[in-house]
Amino acid sequence: MANNEIVHATTDVELSTTTVLDLLTNPATNWSKLSFRISNPDETAARIAQRELSAASIDELLGGGETISGKDYIGKPFCVNSVDWQASDIVGDGLPFYAVIHAADINGESLTITTGARTVVRKLAIMAANGWLPAWVKIVKGPKTDAGYEPLDLAKAETPELPFD
């Protein structure tokens, strides 16, 4: 091959932490040529069942189920318990996938936060791949770019002190 471009044998990609990390670290990835396979429904059902079975409270088990956009949760600490990946249907310059963060706030309430911010997605993939979850973090705004954007980033948050029994 003359131009060192990586050619994928298939453009049908399953979104896993390993795949997301590989795609984010490969500068030759041609996003427009990728299509994403729907997650295996049995594996998805097993992950949901495991989260339910490991619930520590009724609120965690029956939490509202609403998702929060990462840009609407800036500066608030939360504990990332796990992360899933979903294909994005938003067309544009962003990533063709986004993170679904399964987390808890400082009161132990379950949260589901979504974000497609490249730096946040990359850091979440690194954390998940290295087994660094659960972890207390917060979404922060990075320095404004020359184009006027305020990119989101992920920063360490202090672990809240647990109340005494």
The dihedral built from the CA positions of residue 99, 80, 65 and 49, taken in this order, carries a sign that is: positive
What local confidence, expressed as pLDDT, does residue 34 receive? 59
> Are the CB atoms for 41 and 122 separated by under 8 Å?
no
What one-character-per-residue DSSP string does 69-103 give? Answer: EGGGSBT--EEEEEEEEEE----SSS-SEEEEEEE
pLDDT band at 9 (very low <50, low <70, confident <90, very high): very low
Token pair, residue 79, equals: 């504990």
Q: Write the pLDDT tens digit of every residue in 105-162.
A: 998 888 999 999 999 999 999 999 999 999 999 999 988 888 888 899 999 999 888 6
pTM, rounded to two decimals? 0.73
Average pLDDT in the 27-52 region?
Answer: 67
Residue 65 has, within 13 A of its CA and on its CB side, a CA count of 4
Residue 16 clears pLDDT 90, i.e. is over it = no
Query: What percentage of residues in the chain have a pLDDT greater than 70?
Result: 76
What local confidence, expressed as pLDDT, does residue 2 receive? 40
- For 42, 43, 59, 65, 86, the CA distances from 39, given in Å and listed in that order, are 9, 7, 27, 20, 8
Residue 44 clears pLDDT 70, i.e. is over it = no
Report how far residue 62's alpha carbon sits from residue 152's, in angstroms, rounded to the nearest whole number.
Answer: 30
The dihedral built from the CA positions of residue 12, 16, 20 and 25, taken in this order, carries a sign that is: negative
What local confidence, expressed as pLDDT, does residue 106 receive? 92
Residue 99 clears pLDDT 50, i.e. is over it = yes
Average pLDDT, the chain: 80
- For 77, phi and psi rounded to 5 degrees? -70, 145
Residue 53 clears pLDDT 70, i.e. is over it = yes
Domain ranges of the chain: 12-156
- For 140, phi and psi rounded to 5 degrees? -130, 160
- Beta bridge mates, 122: none
Closest CA to 36 of 113, 101, 88: 88
What local confidence, expressed as pLDDT, does residue 36 receive? 60
